[in-house]
């Protein structure tokens, strides 16, 4: 699939932001006043900024509000609801923390639960697509959730929690790659099933057009797949390994910041691969993957 | 509403005969022509006369080669457009309700004034039946020429999809696949029509008729054995040349 920069930015940053919001909602940490202002600003900038970035890939962003209507069937619509609800509830909770030094626990707990649902909805947009076998796995939502939990803990300064959560997220990431590499074959979709042609080896002889088209640009993205192994190594080292190492060192705010930065860089690489490596079954019709 | 109807009164769709299609692409052109001038946003072309032309099409014809274990390969032309699936994944993913399946005839359509151009429906479709228009930024797809088939301003013989009307080989058929007695249903039953990618669970309405087995050319003519070359070794001048060249370094001799 085409790795649109706006989508990579959105899913990475908003995942982190919602992770942080969940921890803030649970009172981990429970800052007040200016410290609370700083924490909530970062969380809202990441989660809200990600949402704004995602609007850039729409053909008609002026109609974006209509995306709230189909929550009964569409995970994208559910994502709109859950993220807007999380931001609203956590906005109220933040007011309490910042101005009244109050911990409205019910509100915070609700906000944290909504943040989990928001991350889940984002993941299910991809996880529900049967036409992209690499994404159509239960590991996809688990990957997004563990990643948000780890990144959120890291940003929230929960050093004790962040280390095991990062290790868990790394394990899920590895599992996702290993399962994903076998997913296309396991889906049972092949050129033979796509065309229904029997009685011999089927080969794409001639495409329908000499140039390219929307489908090939959007679904059959092959640039950079050749770097997959190297990018996986970069994602593992920067996204998970280095942050764990930095957290194991005696705690220091600068080391913490460095851990956050390497984590974000590594996750950008992982998320880029998440899209670039995802093969859509339509590629079969063009004799491509 | 992007929830799918529980059932549709009729299941209008196409039956495409892969045995008959000659790969002329006339259906592609007539589709583009009709759907650029009628229902919804026109189907744009970008850089049409430049180095990198690209355009929106609702119907495209692929060509495949089937190579049996023995014998000659067979070329199959393969038109592909929206299959108007009963269990259309493109409809349920739509966040705005722009994408919908009609309860009365099963046609899958896009309400372009509600489409935000997110492209998720195109991702959800395993067949590549939906294309985002590069100029209008809304999703385009086959409408089964909904503005022809019910159009009483057209002569009755024209009230079928443009691709079906234009096909010079008679490889495309249009009708109600929900009615077991309809011509198209009979054709599918008789010829063993198939679903594309049945494992994707989309339950497509459109059916494809597989190519019939070809005649085998084992025995071309009863006289063929008498036409076998008599001389297997070259004679005369050619024979001398053959031997002389073989005698040179690198030759057989």
Residue A91 backbone dihedrals phi, psi, to 5 degrees: -65, -45
Residue B21 has pLDDT above 70, yes or no: yes
What value does the mean pLDDT take over residues A160-188? 95
Q: In b/e form, how buried is each residue of A228-267, taking b as 16+ CB within 10 angstroms? A: eeebbebbbebbbbbbbebbeeeeeeebbeebbebbbbbb
Considering the domain boundaries, does residue A25 fall inside one? yes
Answer yes or no: do B116 and A195 touch at CB < 8 A: no
Answer yes or no: do A66 and B78 touch at CB < 8 A: no
Contact (Cβ atoms closer than 8 angstroms) between residue A50 and residue A10: yes
pLDDT value of position A40: 95
Considering the domain boundaries, does residue A203 fall inside one? no
Which of A126, A205, A275, A283 is most worth mutating to test chain B (most B CB atoms within 10 A of its CB)?
A205
Q: Among residues A128, A112, A88, A100, which one has the least CA distance to residue A24?
A: A112
Contact (Cβ atoms closer than 8 angstroms) between residue B81 and residue B163: yes
Binned at pLDDT 50, 70 and 90, residue B3 comes out as: confident
What are the tens digits of pLDDT across the range A196-236? Answer: 998 899 999 999 988 889 998 888 877 767 788 889 999 99
Kindly give the residue spans of alpha helices, DSSP state H, lying in chain A. 5-25, 33-55, 75-100, 105-127, 139-155, 159-187, 191-195, 214-219, 228-234, 242-248, 253-276
Q: How far apart are CA A105 and CA A13, in angstroms?
A: 26
**Residues of A with CB below 8 A from B80's CB?**
208, 285
Residue B113 has pLDDT above 90, yes or no: yes
Kindly give the residue spans of alpha helices, DSSP state H, lying in B141-182. 146-149, 162-166
Answer yes or no: do A76 and B89 touch at CB < 8 A: no
Instruction: Count up the domains in chain A and report the number.
Output: 1
Contact (Cβ atoms closer than 8 angstroms) between residue A168 and residue A158: no
Instruction: Give the sign of the dihedral formed by CA A215, CA A217, CA A222, CA A228.
Output: negative
Contact (Cβ atoms closer than 8 angstroms) between residue A271 and residue A54: no
pLDDT value of position A252: 81
Considering the domain boundaries, does residue A275 fall inside one? yes
Residue A259 has pLDDT above 90, yes or no: yes
Q: How far apart are CA A31 and CA A38, in angstroms?
A: 9
Considering the domain boundaries, does residue A267 fall inside one? yes
Helix (H) and strand (E) counts for chain B?
A: 7, 11
Residue B253 has pLDDT above 60, yes or no: no
pLDDT value of position A54: 80
Q: How far apart are CA B14 and CA B17, in angstroms?
A: 10
pLDDT value of position B180: 95
For B70, nearest residue in chain A (alpha carbons): A200
Contact (Cβ atoms closer than 8 angstroms) between residue A168 and residue A115: no
- Which structure tokens are listed for B212? 């019939």
Ranges of beta strands (E only) in chain B are 12-17, 45-46, 54-55, 59-67, 74-81, 99-101, 108-110, 131-132, 139-140, 172-176, 207-209
For A74, the closest of B2, B66, B126 (CB atoms) is B2
For A73, the closest of B92, B194, B213 (CB atoms) is B92
Binned at pLDDT 50, 70 and 90, residue A15 comes out as: very high
Residue B116 has pLDDT above 80, yes or no: yes
What value does the mean pLDDT take over residues B64-80? 92
Instruction: Give the sign of the dihedral formed by CA B20, CA B22, CA B26, CA B29.
Output: positive
Residues belonging to chain A: 289
Considering the domain boundaries, does residue A243 fall inside one? yes
Domain holding A269, by residue range, is 5-59+66-198+212-286
Strand B59-67 and strand B108-110: pairing?
unpaired
Q: How far apart are CA B213 and CA A213, in angstroms?
A: 33
Considering the domain boundaries, does residue A236 fall inside one? yes
pLDDT value of position B115: 96
What are the tens digits of pLDDT across the range A94-150? Answer: 999 999 988 999 999 999 999 999 999 999 999 999 999 999 999 999 999 999 999
Binned at pLDDT 50, 70 and 90, residue A264 comes out as: very high
For A190, nearest residue in chain B (alpha carbons): B197
Q: Among residues A23, A281, A108, A144, which one has the least CA distance to residue B127?
A: A281
- Which H/E stretch holds residue A205? strand A201-206
Answer yes or no: do B131 and A215 touch at CB < 8 A: yes
pLDDT value of position A73: 94
Considering the domain boundaries, does residue A206 fall inside one? no
pLDDT value of position A219: 87
Contact (Cβ atoms closer than 8 angstroms) between residue A198 and residue B204: no
Binned at pLDDT 50, 70 and 90, residue B219 comes out as: low
**CA of A280, closest CA in chain B: separation in Å?**
7
- Is the bond preceding A29 in cis, omega lying within 30 degrees of 0? yes
For B93, the closest of A58, A74, A214 (CB atoms) is A74
- Which structure tokens are listed for B78? 């393969």
Choice between B237 and A137, residue whose per-residue pLDDT is larger: A137
**Residues of B with CB below 8 A from A194's CB?**
196-197
For B213, nearest residue in chain A (alpha carbons): A199
Which of B87, B96, B208 is most worth mutating to test chain A (most A CB atoms within 10 A of its CB)?
B96
- Which H/E stretch holds residue B91? helix B89-92
Residues belonging to chain B: 253
All domains in chain B, ordered by first residue = 12-209 (3.30.70.20)
Q: Among residues A149, A98, A87, which one has the least CA distance to residue A123?
A: A149
pLDDT value of position B229: 67
What value does the mean pLDDT take over residues B3-15? 92
pLDDT value of position A224: 66
pLDDT value of position B56: 95
**CA of A286, closest CA in chain B: separation in Å?**
8
Angle at B8 between CA B2 and CA B14, to 5 degrees: 100
What value does the mean pLDDT of chain A take?
A: 92
Q: How far apart are CA A23 and CA B162, in angstroms?
A: 58
Considering the domain boundaries, does residue A207 fall inside one? no
Q: What is the CATH number of the domain that holds A171?
A: 1.20.1630
Rg (CA), chain B: 26
Burial label for B169, CB within 10 Å (0-12, 13-18, 19+), is middle
What value does the mean pLDDT take over residues B156-173? 96
Residue B129 has pLDDT above 90, yes or no: yes
Binned at pLDDT 50, 70 and 90, residue B217 comes out as: low
């Amino acid at each position: 699939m085409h790795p649109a920069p706006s989508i990579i930015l959105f899913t990475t940053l908003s995942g982190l932001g919602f992770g942080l919001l969940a921890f803030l909602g649970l009172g981990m940490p429970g800052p007040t006043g200016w410290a609370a202002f700083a924490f909530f600003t970062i969380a809202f900038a990441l989660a809200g900024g990600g949402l704004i970035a995602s609007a850039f890939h729409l053909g008609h962003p002026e109609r974006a509000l209509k995306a709230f209507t189909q929550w009964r069937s569409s995970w994208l619509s559910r994502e709109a609801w859950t993220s807007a609800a999380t931001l609203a509830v956590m906005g109220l909770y933040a007011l309490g923390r910042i101005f009244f030094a109050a911990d409205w626990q019910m509100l915070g707990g609700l906000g944290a639960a909504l943040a989990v649902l928001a991350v889940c909805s984002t993941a299910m947009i991809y996880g529900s697509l049967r036409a992209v076998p690499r994404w159509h796995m239960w590991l996809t939502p688990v990957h997004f959730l563990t990643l948000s939990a780890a990144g959120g803990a890291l940003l929230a300064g929960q050093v004790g929690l962040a280390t095991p959560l990062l290790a868990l997220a790394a394990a899920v990431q590895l599992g996702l790659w290993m399962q994903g590499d076998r997913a296309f074959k396991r889906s049972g979709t092949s050129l033979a099933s796509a065309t229904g042609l029997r009685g011999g080896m089927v080969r794409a002889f001639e495409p329908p057009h000499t140039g390219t088209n929307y489908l090939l640009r959007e679904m059959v993205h092959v640039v950079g797949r050749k770097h997959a192994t190297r990018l996986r190594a970069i994602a593992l080292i920067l996204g998970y390994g280095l942050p764990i190492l930095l957290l194991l060192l005696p705690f220091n705010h600068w080391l913490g910041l460095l851990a956050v930065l390497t984590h974000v860089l590594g996750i950008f690489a992982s998320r880029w691969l998440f899209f670039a490596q995802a093969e859509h079954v339509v590629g079969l019709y063009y004799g491509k993957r | 509403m992007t929830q799918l109807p529980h059932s549709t009164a009729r299941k209008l769709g196409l039956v495409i005969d892969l045995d008959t299609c000659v790969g002329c692409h006339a259906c592609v052109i007539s589709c583009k022509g009709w759907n650029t001038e009628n229902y919804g946003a026109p189907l744009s072309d970008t850089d049409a006369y430049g180095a990198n032309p690209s355009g929106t099409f609702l119907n495209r014809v692929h060509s495949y080669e089937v190579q049996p274990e023995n014998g000659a390969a067979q070329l199959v032309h393969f038109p592909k457009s929206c299959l108007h699936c009963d269990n259309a994944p493109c409809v349920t993913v739509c966040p705005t309700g722009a994408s919908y399946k009609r309860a009365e005839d099963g046609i899958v359509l896009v309400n372009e004034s509600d489409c935000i151009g997110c492209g998720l429906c195109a991702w959800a479709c395993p067949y590549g039946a939906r294309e985002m228009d590069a100029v209008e930024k809304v999703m385009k797809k086959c409408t089964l020429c909904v503005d022809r088939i019910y159009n009483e301003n057209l002569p009755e013989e024209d009230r079928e999809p443009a691709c079906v009307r234009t096909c010079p080989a008679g490889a495309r058929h249009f009708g109600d696949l929900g009615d077991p007695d309809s011509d198209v249903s009979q054709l599918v039953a008789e010829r063993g029509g198939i679903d594309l990618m049945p494992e994707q669970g989309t339950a497509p309405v459109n059916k494809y008729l597989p190519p019939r087995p070809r005649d085998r050319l084992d025995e071309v003519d009863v006289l063929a054995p008498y036409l076998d070359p008599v001389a297997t070794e070259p004679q005369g001048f050619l024979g001398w040349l053959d031997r002389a060249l073989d005698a040179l370094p690198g030759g057989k001799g």
